[in-house]
Amino acid sequence: MKNKLAGFEELSHTADLEIRAWGEDLSSLFSAAADGMIHLSGIEDYEEGFSAVTESISLDAMDYEGLLILFLEELLYRLTEDYMLFSIDSLSVSSEFSLKGKLKGTQIRSYQRDIKAVTYHRLNIRETEQGYEVNIVFDI
């Protein structure tokens, strides 16, 4: 997974959960971070085929870190409140800290873990030789 242009890995944290996500650009970084969060939620049971629901998403923030939190919180809210799992059809992150995209959703039956929140703890999107990376701590 580490060799891929975008991906995530779970890191060790005493009480909460932490991932490192990376991508060749900000859009793929955001997608990888979303994949990581969904992985931590432990969703095993969902309707096949992400075509039942298509939604547009449009978010604005003061910086990229704030935008990443807004994006992940949006997906988390829809997951825990509406039992909707979204896959990212298209996503673009602009230099003005705004995000636009299309999501395809499917209904889930259950998830294994309550993620309480996406935290700002040491949240810092870093530029690397391959693109971008970020560490994210989730409160559970």
Query: Given candidates 47, 94, 120, 126, which one binds other proteins under the rule CB under 8 A?
Result: 120
Query: Given candidates 65, 89, 131, 135, which one binds other proteins under the rule CB under 8 A?
Result: 65
Is residue 12 at the binding interface for other proteins, with CB under 8 A as the rule? yes
The amino acid at residue 111 is Y
Nearer of residues 25 and 65 to other proteins, judged by Cβ:
65
In whole angstroms, give the CA distance from residue 108 to residue 136. Answer: 24
Q: Which residues contact 103 (CB under 8 A, 6 or more apart)?
A: 54, 55, 56, 57, 86, 87, 88, 89
Q: How far is CA 131 from CA 24, 76, 79, 127, in A?
A: 4, 25, 29, 6
Is residue 135 at the binding interface for other proteins, with CB under 8 A as the rule? no
Nearer of residues 122 and 126 to other proteins, judged by Cβ:
122
Q: Which residues contribute to the site for other proteins (CB under 8 A)?
A: 10, 12-17, 42, 62, 65-66, 69-70, 73, 77, 80-81, 83, 110-114, 116-123, 137, 139-140
